[in-house]
Homo-oligomer: A and B are copies of this chain.
Amino acid sequence: MSTLALAFDLGGTELRGALVERSGDVIARVSAPTMSGAGSEAVIGQIIALAGTLLAEHPQAKVVGIGMCAPGPLDPKAGIVIGPPTLAGWHNVPLIDILSRQFGLPVRLENDANAAALGEWRFGAGRGSGSLVFVTVSTGIGGGVVADGHIYHGRRGLAAEIGHMTITGEGERCFCGAVGCFEAVASGTALGRRATKLTTAGDGSLLRRLSNDGDVSARHVVEAARAGDVSALELVAAEAKWLGIGFTNLLHLYSPDLIVMGGGLSNGFDLLAPTIRATVEQRAMQAYRDVPIVPAELGDRAGLVGAASLILWEGEPGTALAMVQDDETKSGAGGKAGAREASQG
């Protein structure tokens, strides 16, 4: 059996684990509802239990390390989860320390948007590109930037907090306290809110019929737009315009080779794309207009395989892969990844 990483994607609602090959293939997956109100010890217990399940199912697995992603803010270098709003009782939890002691394996930690960016870059929509900006649009908006083969971290790993980039002076106040955040006007939540405002329970509109006369969600808007509903199509166009304004900023600021859009709303990417594109063409300076904007390819695997790649693909001496490769080189089986290592080292 080939070299594997244990990978975990710790979300506010779901905890996912997997065994991932160097190719990015997921050979086994498990998940559990995150005990997000129960504090860090309980959740770490869940991680250990899921690891046990995976390893018991694959007793021959040659696991060389653990790649983990979690919601920010977190410090990837120090390996500390600082205090994600979606996980109660997590305050400066030294997750790398805890897990590496538990398993006796190297552990790498990354925030979830960065891990997904890395996953899409190495195995998904960004394969072969030199750099990309990954944007996840769902409840909120998050992002990750890969440039020169690395995640762009910035001070304390806090770069690419793109959801809280101010792009307008209008709209509802963001949960962060400011007005005009990209997230506040362009997230799936914002789209759902606009759809809910536009309609009323019992008005017979398709949007309200899809939502059973409850609050309308972004998913309902996309569904209604697919059915040709005029209000929904207008809402989609307005949403795409906000996304286009935000993406134009990302082009001007990071100048990536491409932008990859993931998250729940990327299910409606084909509907959003024409107005996103038109907005970018209208607002971006000439030299940035031909940059591809594409949907993510890996869905909810992006974070897992990106996190795994932190163990399996990093080139620095002393990482799990480098150690494995030293062994393999000694036994005369360097292979393709070995060549990649050499070119990255």
Spell out A's residues near B (CB within 8 Å). 73, 82, 130-131, 147, 152-162, 164-170, 176-178, 180, 245, 248-249, 252-257, 282-283, 285, 287-288, 291
Contacts and interface: CB of A to CB of B under 8 A. Distances in A.
Contacts of A180: 167-168
A156 B168 CA distance: 28
A91 to B, nearest CB: 13
B285 A252 contact: no
Contacts of A253: 159-162, 165, 253-254
A155 B130 contact: yes
Q: Is the interface of A mostly helix, strand, loop or mixed?
A: loop
B178 A283 contact: yes
A169 B171 CA distance: 11
B166 A245 contact: yes
A255 B169 contact: no
B156 A255 contact: yes
Given A131-B154, A147-B154, 6 more contacts: A73-B287, A154-B256, A158-B287, A161-B255, A165-B252, A166-B245
Contacts of A256: 154-155
10 contacts: A152-B254, A155-B255, A157-B255, A159-B253, A159-B254, A159-B255, A162-B252, A166-B167, A168-B168, A169-B170
Nearest to A169: B168
Contacts of A156: 255, 287
A254 B253 CA distance: 9
A157 B288 CA distance: 11
Contact of A176 (B131, B168, B257, B285): B285
Of A154, A176, A248, A287, most buried by chain B (CB within 10 Å of CB) is: A154
Nearest to A246: B166
Contact of A158 (B152, B166, B169, B288): B288
Contact of A283 (B131, B158, B166, B245): B166
A156 B131 CA distance: 11
Contacts of A159: 253-255
A57 to B, nearest CB: 39
A133 to B, nearest CB: 10
Contacts of A131: 154-155
B158 A255 contact: yes
A152 B252 CA distance: 12
Given A166-B283, A285-B176, A287-B73, A252 B161 contact: yes
Given A168-B168, A169-B169, A248-B166, A291 B160 contact: no
Q: Top 7 closest A-B pairs, CB basis?
A: A154-B255, A158-B255, A159-B255, A161-B252, A178-B283, A155-B255, A168-B169
A147 to B, nearest CB: 7
Contact of A164 (B152, B166, B252): B252
Contacts of A166: 167-168, 245, 248-249, 283
